[in-house]
Each structure stands twice: as C-alpha cells, then as structure tokens.
Structure 1
Amino acid sequence: MNLWADFLSNDGRIIDKWKHYFPAYERHFARYVNRPLTFLEIGCGEGGSLQMWKRYFGPHARLIGIDVRPQCAAFEEDQIAIRIGDQADPVFLDQLIEEFGTPDIVLDDGSHIMQHVVATFGFLFHRTAPDGVYMVEDLHTAYWEQFGGGLQRPGTFIELCKTLVDEMNADWTRGALPPTEFTRSTLSMHFYDSLVAFERGRTTRKTGFRIGRET
C-alpha cells in the first residue's frame, strides 16, 4: 500500500494534508522505508500524521513530534515521542538534538508563520543528517499577510529560498557570491505547489568531462 492509499483508508486520528503533497513525500522519503530513521515533524495537528508516518516508515523508525500545545503529549505511543515547545526557540531545538540526535528528515508543518519557519530552518537545516531531507509545507502562507507573508515580501520563506538558489550555485558566480556551508552541503532544492524540499549532501570536486570519439 502506498502512502496515498494509506491516507485514504485512515481510521485512526485525524490527518489533515493536501493531496498534491503525497507524490513529493514518496519521491523524497521512499529511501527511508523500513530503515533506521529519526523523523522530526514540527506541528502535531490532531496526531494522525505521526501515526501515518509510523505505518509508512516501518518498525525501525523513531518519530518525534513537537508542538506548543500541551495536549499533544497524549499522542505519544510506541515509536512516537512528543515534546512540547516553540519551534522557533533555539534552546528547545538544541535540547531536542541533544536528546534524540541528528534527524534524518525534518518536516515543518508547524505554525506556518514566516518568522517561525525561517528561524527553525536557520537552526535545524545544518543539524539535519548530512544526507538528509528538510521539507517545508503549506508555503501558500508565505503569500498571506496574517502569517507574515505577501507576494515578494522580504522575510518570507519563499523569498529566502530564492536567495538560496543563488547560494547553492555560488561556485559558478565567479566570485560575486562566496560559497557558504549551504553551498557545500546542499545537493538539490525541489519546488512544488506550497512545498519546498531540500536534499542535503556533498559533491566531489565539480569537474566537467567531454568523453567520446570525434567523428
């Protein structure tokens, strides 16, 4: 059963997801199925998504949900840990890393407030596994004023991503933009409707080849 089919047949706690996210989930998360995994979901909703991820990733997955609402502690069960705290609080996030270690996947489905999303990314991205995935969803809020958003408004996560595209390609800017740790540790950025996925990893020396026999 794939993730979409599992979602449609859910009879556990409520899951609230946009259907067009599911192909992106499968594309970026499939390699972790039935393997040891530390998965951090920011925002617990009504508890159903953590149960869905538990079914999807299998018996070796350790799932951590964080939320500011104390009642979310009731969502704990085998393989699922809940911690109560603010996603934008670096002290809280540092305590999570100290307790659970480096996450392989971070999925930000939290407040969707731009200031929070940017702060969380700034702290957690470089603390995600060197070959891990960092995904931010519900980024339609980057265009909504009540979440600190707006079209081309400075400070939104979408605007940050636009600068990160240049930063990822800094090696080719001929000195106009110095390479950074993001440049060196990011393999790819994938943009979807309302969702961005970052795949971490380091390349070997960037070398172009021209191979073959001239005719």
Structure 2
Amino acid sequence: MNDLEKYFINHTGNLINKWKHYFDIYDRHFRKFRNKDVHVLEIGVSHGGSLHMWKNYFGANAKIYGVDINPNCKDLEDEDQQIKIFIGSQEDRQFLRSLTDAIPKLDILIDDGGHTMKQQIVTFEELYGHIDVNGIYLCEDLHTSYWKNFGGGYKRKGSFIEYSKNFIDYLNAWHSKTKKLVVTDFTRTTESLHYYDGILVIEKKPIEKPYDLMTGKPYIQGFKPPSSVTKKLARALNKIRGLRQFYQL
C-alpha cells in the first residue's frame, strides 16, 4: 500500500472521493516529484479533501492549485499550506487562458472536473501547453466517455476517448508519409501515453527526431538494411562496404 492510499484510509477531514485502483497509478507517475518544489493543479475541488492529500504527498515545498465552478470552494483556500483556489468553468477558454497567466508552468495537472466531453477536451487544448517540459497531464474518470449523458458513447465521435486516440498518431508522426499526419508541438514535447481503466496519463519530455542505429558487422550474405533505415544511411553503408572491398584488393 502506497502513501497516498494510507493517507486516504486514515483521513478524517474534508471529503475525498477516488476509485481504489487510482492510488497505484498516481504513485507510479507522481512519486518522482515528491519533496520537490512542484506546482500541482487539480480541476475539481469539491470538498477540498484531495487538495490536502496532494499537499501531504508532495511535501512542504509543493504549491497546490484548485479550480472549481462553485464559488463556495474559494473558502477552502489555505495560505499556510500554499493551497490556492480559482473559481471558473473548465469549458471556458478565456478563464483557462487567464489561469495560465496567474500560475507558473505546472509539473502536474489532474483533470477531475465535470467529466463532460467538452470540459475534458477544452481543458486539454488550453492547458496542455502550460505543462512543464518534463511534466504530467492526467485526465481521470474516462468512463464518462461511454455515457451519453456526459456526451459520450461507445465509439462516439467527440468523446474524450476517441479524441485522445489521435494522440497515438501524433506521437508517431515522425514516421508519417502523408500530409494528413505531420509533426506538431505535441510530437516534439510528448514522450508517452499511459491508458488505464478510467485514466490517461501523458508524460512530457523534449523529443528529437528519432533516428535508427546499427552496430556490428554484417554476417548474413545478401544482407539488406531494414526498411526503417533511411536511404541516406543505406547508401553510406554501401559506400563503406565498397571502400573496404577496394582496399582489400
């Protein structure tokens, strides 16, 4: 049992509502940020219990931010604990843009807000760029992508699940040979996607154009470089072989 789950089980303060299997996912991706000067934003304050859970988990130097549409949540701010709350709608693009002016780049964003398709998509589009170069974007409760009353439905166009499946293509856009899929900022700044039951974790990292490497001596007669090797590299290898044969004569 990790520290987050221990905190949750022993917690007697403001209400926290989480699926049990989420704690291992959180800890797997968040533990590297513990006891560091991190900036964490959770969308969906509710009763405020999870904000204090994050503060306890990340440590004294952590800055915790919350966003909620309910103005009463502002009363849950805790200056001593460095917990600050902003009131606004996560599907309001102007509000989200003002948020990026008010807070530093984020190490972690947790979208646990209203869970509608519009809210999840708009939030990603407006705030993913505000995640630090080595930060994490986590959207949870993705099961609403299968619920019609949240705008979802199995294979329904416009659900966050269907929307996020495009991320797989964006991640691999370096290898595309069609103008329909080109390298974007997402491609250049995203290292990995992790899908779990109800959660998508996106880990950022500066990414350079990938390149293939070869080492060792060709052994099999008639060897041909794999198709992933560029034509330029293949020509270079053939030239090297030709020079070797020339000097052996």
TM-score range, shorter chain: over 0.9
The 1-side partners of 2:118 and 2:88 are apart by 16
* Alpha carbons 1:16, 1:45 under 8 Å: kept: no
With 170-179 and 24-33 compared, the bigger mean Cα shift is at: 170-179
- Give the TM-score normalised by the residue count of structure 1: 0.95
Which residue does 2:31 correspond to in 1? 30
User: Does 1:126 pair with 2:129?
Assistant: yes
Q: Percent identity among equivalent residues? A: 41
The 1-side partners of 2:214 and 2:6 are apart by 45
Which residue does 1:186 correspond to in 2? 190
The 2-side partners of 1:21 and 1:165 are apart by 23
Matched residue SS, 1:104: strand
- Give the TM-score normalised by the residue count of structure 2: 0.83
The 1-side partners of 2:39 and 2:72 are apart by 23
Computed over aligned residues only, the root mean square deviation of the Cα atoms, in angstroms, reads 1.4
1:37-186 matched pairs, under 5 angstroms: 37-77=38-78, 78-176=81-179, 177-186=181-190
Give the partner amino acid of 1:91: Q
Give the Å deviation of 1:202: 1.4
- Could you list the runs of 5+ residues in structure 2 that have no partner in the other structure? 220-249
* Alpha carbons 2:89, 2:95 under 8 Å: kept: yes
- Could you list the runs of 5+ residues in structure 1 that have no partner in the other structure? none
Give the Å deviation of 1:37: 0.8
* Alpha carbons 2:189, 2:205 under 8 Å: kept: yes
Please list the CA deviations of residues 129-159 of structure 1 after superposition, one character each: whole Å capped at 9, or x if unmatched: 1111000000000100010000011111100
* Alpha carbons 2:141, 2:198 under 8 Å: kept: yes
Aligned length: 215
Greater RCO (CA < 8 Å, at least 6 residues apart)? 1
The 2-side partners of 1:150 and 1:179 are apart by 30
User: Does 1:201 pair with 2:191?
Assistant: no
Please list the CA deviations of residues 108-128 of structure 1 after superposition, one character each: whole Å capped at 9, or x if unmatched: 000001011101100101121
* Alpha carbons 2:187, 2:207 under 8 Å: kept: no
Which residue does 2:21 correspond to in 1? 20
Give the Å deviation of 1:212: 4.5
Please list the CA deviations of residues 2-28 of structure 1 after superposition, one character each: whole Å capped at 9, or x if unmatched: 111111111111110001111110111
Matched residue SS, 2:132: coil
The 2-side partners of 1:208 and 1:26 are apart by 33
Give the partner amino acid of 1:178: V
Give the partner amino acid of 1:191: Y
With 196-205 and 36-45 compared, the bigger mean Cα shift is at: 196-205
Give the partner amino acid of 2:211: T
Higher CA-based Rg: 2
The 1-side partners of 2:166 and 2:128 are apart by 15
User: Does 1:8 pair with 2:12?
Assistant: no
